[in-house]
Each structure stands twice: as structure tokens, then as C-alpha cells.
């Protein structure tokens, strides 16, 4: 019987593969949902899929949805094998088509029992008592250095990451000790608090960037106005990304779950980008797909849409201030950030740009030459109301696990502007904007994607480029000029729906 194990931890794939092999399965592996879809096209239809939840490129829930959408796999049994323990997460997985759910860590007996519940009769009924805690060779682990002066935070992060077999955690109490630890231990990534005694995070970041320019550094920020402001300063000074410390959760379990997802996603995304690959992989990566571009339509441009996530604040600070003051169309932006952060980002961009940059709010009139940034925690759409175009913000369901989502904005923009759009997808983790770009392209709109070399994470633009939806794939420093040129090349402004 064929089985497919999908998990971004090589140690977990090896361990699950070994156990399934003992139960009579022929096992194939994939380290994320996108790669799993490619493997499914190559191997016999599997009888069983074991799927992790949190993975780069495409997570487990998205993979389950994709598999269940293909009738060829109707007979396949899917088991989620994950640390996600919330009842709502279990319900989401089962509702999307998973047949069973197994929590990490687990025993070999527990896995065997679940396999039997799915209707399989294993050829080997080996029983073993010890909990599954795979021994990962030190050279295969991602070395994570957490720098925070709070012992509580250090313990919380340790608890969040203790079940991740491919992560090794060390800590430091301030920036000065962190610099010593980086020199002696050579971590793959640094998680850096901002407010600390002896040496604060911004000072430590400056030293890190002077000596270890390629080392990923993630700022560990509080969800406050002060935290947002300093985090944006850190990103401008060279930090790779940021995560916010958990707050407002009903239980420690919920806080740990959110923290684990945020940390693991960033660690895997930033440590595995080209040029920063810190650990050898189980097998050679498949050949990169051929990236082609679509010929640019000749229709006019009535609005510009921009989507970004990890690395986005710095990318936006490169693009938005270089747009001309007489830009004859509005700019609508979705940047994945929490509330407070988007307000501070809009304020920062406004101070650097010839165009007015504001955080979006419900009912705002969209006019040419204005830039609107979706508010953190809310989707932003555009709607035509009489002779005007207005913003609509709401707390509808997350899409691609995010809110605001670019897909939501892009779909609404096509309803208002048809194909008279220029969509721009900048650096970011995940695949938000892919479905939206499919709608934009289908309507005849134009699409630009940031290239891999200048992206912090080539997730969002990479998905768009690999789907051959982009009219051009460009380095970051060429995108603002390309936007301006395409708007200028478009036919005359007559017929635009925008108010003056």
C-alpha cells in the first residue's frame, strides 16, 4: 500500500516513514503541501496521507482541501499529525476532509491504532511504549537563539518549541550576551527582544548587521504603539521580520499555540531561503519550474493593488515613496500586520511619500493619487456606491490564515474596476494573493511580482510567478519605476470610475 508523509521536519518524516514501513506501507515523502501535490502527480494514488499542519509554502489544511477537491483521491485516507491541539483546529481539519487526527508527541502504538481505525490491517503489529521523540542529529537542527531579558518569556518560548524535533534553542538575557553567543555558537536565526538592559535590541541589531549581514533576525515585539514604532525602526535597520508576543489569550495553551505557529513559520521560512540554507536536506530539491511571463494587456489602469507580508514594510518603504505625486490612480495595499502596526506603517510611509498614505477605514472615499493601507485585523474591500468608490472593512473569515487578506481586496477590485488593474505582489510568506491574481489575470489585468533574489521570503510572489500569472518578475528597486511607466503607458484617463 502506498502512503505519503507530508511534514517540514525531516526527522519527523523519517520517523513516520519508518513506522509506516513496519506496518506494510510503501512510503513517499514531501516537506510541504506544494511539494506534496507534485509528489501526488508522480506516485501511485496513496491509500494513506499523514499531513502536518504548519508548513511553509502550503500548510496542511490547504493541502487537505486541494486533495479533497480532486475526485481521483476520494478513496485516500488522510490523517493530520500535528501539535495543533485546539478543538476548533481539529474541527477545521475534519470539516475539510481529514479522516483522523493524531497529536504530537505520540507513541508508535497510538499511530498504529489510528491506522487500524482508518480500516487498514497492518502487516506488522509491533508494539512499543516509548513516546515518539525522534533523535535528530545535531547537524540537522535549526539553531535558534532567543534574546530576551524576561525569564518568563524564555520559558514560554522553550515550551512552545520543545515539541519541534528539528529546532535547537539557546537563550541570552541581553544584546551583549547575544553577540557573544552568536560568535561562539553560530545560530541559524536570532529572535530578538527590543527592550533589554545592558544592550537593547536595536543596538544589538546594529552590531549583528555589521558583522553577520546574512543572519536572519526576527524582532520579538509587544502589541503596543511603542512596540509597533520600534519594530518598524528595526525592520528599516535590517531586521528580517517580526513576531508579536502573545497577549489576550484565554489560556496558556492558546498562547503557546499561537506562539509556536508564529515562531516555526518564521524559522522555517527564513532559514531555508536561498543563500541562508543552514542545514542539509533529505534529498535534492526538485528542478525549479520554468518561469514565464504573460504579455501585458493594453487596457488602461484605474487602480494599483499591492500585497506583501514578511519583509513587506521595508519593500513598501522602497516602492511607495518613489511613486510620483501626480499619480492619476489610487493605490490599495494589504500588508499582513496586526492592528496598531498598520497605523504606524501608514504614518511612516506618509512621512516619506509625496502621496497621502492612510490606514483604511470603513466608508472612506477612494480617489486618485491616494494610498490606502488595509487595517490590521480587518479585511479591506472596495465597493462602488453611486458615482464613488468606497472602502469597506470587516472582520470576515480569515483567508490563507490571514486577515487582512490580499485575495479579498483583489476580488473586490475586479468587481469595481474590471481588468483595469495593476496588481503588485511583493515579498511575503504563504500564498495569499495567488487566487486574487488569478481573478485579476482572468479579467485582463496586469501583474508584477518581486523576484526571488530581493525578497526576504519568496512565498507570495513566488507562487504568482510559478503560476505564470506575472507580466514581469522584477527586483525590488525596479518596481516603483515599472508601476509608474505602466500607468503612463495606459490609454487616456477618460472613462475612469474614480471621483476627482
Q: Residue 294: is its pLDDT beyond 80?
A: no
Pairing of strands 167-172, 2-6: unpaired
Kindly state the average pLDDT of the residues 387-409: 93
pLDDT category at 233 given cuts 50, 70, 90 is: very high
Q: What is the pLDDT of residues 243-252, one digit of tens each?
A: 988 776 555 6
Kindly state the average pLDDT of the residues 216-240: 88
Those residues with Cβ within 8 angstroms of residue 269's Cβ, 6 or more apart along the chain or in another chain: 56, 310, 429, 457, 459
Which pLDDT score, from 0 to 100, does residue 268 have? 86
Q: What is the pLDDT of residues 98-118, one digit of tens each?
A: 888 888 878 888 888 888 888
Kindly state the average pLDDT of the residues 116-143: 60
Q: Residue 495: is its pLDDT beyond 70?
A: no
Which grid coordinates belong to 314?
Answer: 521595508
**Using CA atoms, how far apart are residues 325 and 351, in angstroms rounded to an integer?**
13
Which of the two residues, 168 and 280, has the higher pLDDT score? 168
Nearest residue to 29 via CA among 54, 60, 8, 47: 8
Candidates 240, 262, 308, 309; catalytic one: 309
CB 257 within 8 A of CB 86: yes
Q: What is the pLDDT of residues 377-397, one digit of tens each?
A: 999 999 999 889 999 999 999
pLDDT category at 156 given cuts 50, 70, 90 is: confident
pLDDT category at 146 given cuts 50, 70, 90 is: very high
pLDDT category at 160 given cuts 50, 70, 90 is: confident
**What 3 state SS string does 252-267 have?**
HHHHHHHHHHHHHHHH
Q: Residue 276: is its pLDDT beyond 60?
A: no
CB 144 within 8 A of CB 187: yes
pLDDT category at 85 given cuts 50, 70, 90 is: low
Average pLDDT, rounded, for the chain: 85
Percent of the chain's residues with pLDDT above 90:
53
Candidates 302, 432, 451, 455; catalytic one: 432
Pairing of strands 189-193, 217-221: parallel
Strands (E), 115-233: 142-147, 167-172, 189-193, 217-221
Which of the two residues, 342 and 496, has the higher pLDDT score? 342
Q: Residue 480: is its pLDDT beyond 60?
A: yes
128-132, 439-443, 473-477: least confidently modelled range: 128-132
**Catalytic (active site) residue 336:** yes
Percent of the chain's residues with pLDDT above 70:
87
Which pLDDT score, from 0 to 100, does residue 272 have? 63
**Catalytic (active site) residue 432:** yes
Q: Residue 1: is its pLDDT beyond 50?
A: yes
Q: Residue 406: is its pLDDT beyond 90?
A: yes
Q: Residue 419: is its pLDDT beyond 90?
A: yes
Q: What is the pLDDT of residues 11-45, one digit of tens each?
A: 888 888 888 888 888 888 998 898 899 889 888 88
Which of the two residues, 8 and 363, has the higher pLDDT score? 363
Q: What is the pLDDT of residues 431-455, one digit of tens each?
A: 899 999 999 999 999 999 999 999 9
CB 438 within 8 A of CB 406: no
Does pTM surpass 0.75? no
Which pLDDT score, from 0 to 100, does residue 293 have? 66
Which pLDDT score, from 0 to 100, does residue 265 have? 84
Which of the two residues, 318 and 71, has the higher pLDDT score? 318
- Strands across the sheet with 356-359, in order? 356-359, 370-373, 331-335, 303-308, 421-425, 446-450, 472-474
Q: Residue 277: is its pLDDT beyond 60?
A: no
Q: Residue 253: is its pLDDT beyond 60?
A: yes
Give me Rg for the CA atoms of the chain: 23
Which pLDDT score, from 0 to 100, does residue 9 have? 84
Which pLDDT score, from 0 to 100, does residue 38 have? 86
Which pLDDT score, from 0 to 100, does residue 25 have? 87
125-139, 268-282, 289-303, 388-402: least confidently modelled range: 125-139
133-137, 336-340, 453-457: least confidently modelled range: 133-137
Candidates 336, 348, 379, 455; catalytic one: 336
With left for phi above 0 and alpha for psi between -120 and 50, is residue 433 left, alpha or beta?
Answer: left
**Catalytic (active site) residue 309:** yes
Amino acid at each position: 500500500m502506498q502512503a505519503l508523509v507530508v511534514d517540514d521536519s525531516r526527522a519527523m518524516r523519517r520517523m513516520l516513514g519508518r513506522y509506516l514501513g513496519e506496518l506494510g506501507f510503501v512510503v513517499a515523502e514531501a516537506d510541504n503541501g506544494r511539494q506534496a501535490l507534485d509528489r501526488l502527480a508522480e506516485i501511485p494514488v496513496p491509500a494513506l496521507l499523514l499531513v502536518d499542519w504548519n508548513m511553509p509554502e502550503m500548510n496542511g489544511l490547504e493541502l487537505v482541501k486541494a486533495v479533497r477537491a480532486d475526485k481521483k483521491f476520494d478513496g485516500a485516507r488522510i490523517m493530520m499529525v500535528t501539535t495543533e491541539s485546539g478543538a476548533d483546529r481539529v474541527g477545521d481539519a475534519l470539516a475539510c476532509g481529514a479522516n483522523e487526527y493524531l497529536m504530537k508527541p505520540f507513541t508508535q502504538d497510538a499511530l498504529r491504532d489510528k491506522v487500524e481505525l482508518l480500516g487498514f490491517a497492518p502487516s506488522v503489529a509491533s508494539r512499543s511504549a516509548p513516546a515518539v521523540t525522534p533523535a535528530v542529529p545535531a547537524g540537522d537542527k535549526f539553531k535558534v537563539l532567543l534574546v530576551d531579558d524576561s525569564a518568563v518569556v524564555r520559558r514560554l518560548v522553550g515550551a512552545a518549541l520543545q515539541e519541534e524535533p528539528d529546532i535547537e534553542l539557546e537563550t541570552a538575557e541581553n544584546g551583549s550576551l547575544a553577540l557573544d553567543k552568536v560568535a561562539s555558537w553560530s545560530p541559524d536565526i536570532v529572535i530578538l527582544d527590543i527592550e533589554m538592559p545592558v544592550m537593547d535590541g536595536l543596538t544589538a541589531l546594529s552590531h549583528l548587521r555589521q558583522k553577520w549581514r546574512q543572519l536572519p533576525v526576527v524582532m520579538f515585539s509587544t502589541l503596543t504603539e511603542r512596540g509597533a514604532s520600534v519594530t518598524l525602526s528595526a525592520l528599516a535597520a535590517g531586521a528580517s521580520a517580526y513576531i508579536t508576543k502573545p497577549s489576550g489569550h484565554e489560556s496558556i495553551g492558546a498562547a503557546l499555540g499561537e506562539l509556536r505557529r508564529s515562531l516555526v513559520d518564521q524559522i522555517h521560512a527564513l532559514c531555508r531561503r536561498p543563500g541562508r540554507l543552514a542545514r542539509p536536506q533529505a534529498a535534492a530539491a526538485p528542478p525549479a519550474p520554468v518561469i514565464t511571463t504573460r504579455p501585458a494587456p493594453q487596457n488602461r489602469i484605474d487602480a494599483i493593488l499591492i500585497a506583501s507580508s514578511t519583509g513587506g514594510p521595508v519593500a513598501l518603504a522602497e516602492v511607495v515613496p518613489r511613486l510620483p505625486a501626480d499619480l492619476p490612480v489610487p493605490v490599495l495595499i494589504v500588508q499582513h500586520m496586526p492592528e496598531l502596526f498598520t497605523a504606524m506603517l501608514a504614518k511612516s510611509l506618509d512621512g516619506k511619500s509625496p502621496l497621502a498614505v492612510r490606514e483604511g477605514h470603513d466608508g472612506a472615499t477612494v480617489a486618485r493619487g491616494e494610498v490606502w493601507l488595509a487595517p490590521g485585523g480587518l479585511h479591506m474591500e472596495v465597493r462602488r456606491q453611486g458615482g464613488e468608490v468606497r472602502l469597506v472593512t470587516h472582520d470576515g473569515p480569515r483567508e490563507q490564515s490571514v486577515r487582512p487578506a490580499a485575495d479579498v481586496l483583489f476580488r473586490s477590485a475586479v468587481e469595481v474596476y474590471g481588468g483595469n488593474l495593476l496588481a503588485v505582489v511583493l515579498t511575503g510568506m504563504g500564498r495569499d494573493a495567488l487566487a486574487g491574481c488569478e481573478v485579476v489575470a482572468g479579467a485582463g489585468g496586469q501583474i508584477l511580482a518581486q523576484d526571488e533574489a530581493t525578497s526576504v521570503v519568496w512565498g507570495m510572489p513566488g507562487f504568482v510567478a510559478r503560476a505564470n500569472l506575472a507580466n514581469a518578475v522584477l527586483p525590488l528597486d525596479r518596481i516603483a519605476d515599472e508601476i509608474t511607466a505602466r500607468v503612463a503607458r495606459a490609454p487616456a484617463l477618460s472613462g475612469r470610475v474614480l471621483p476627482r
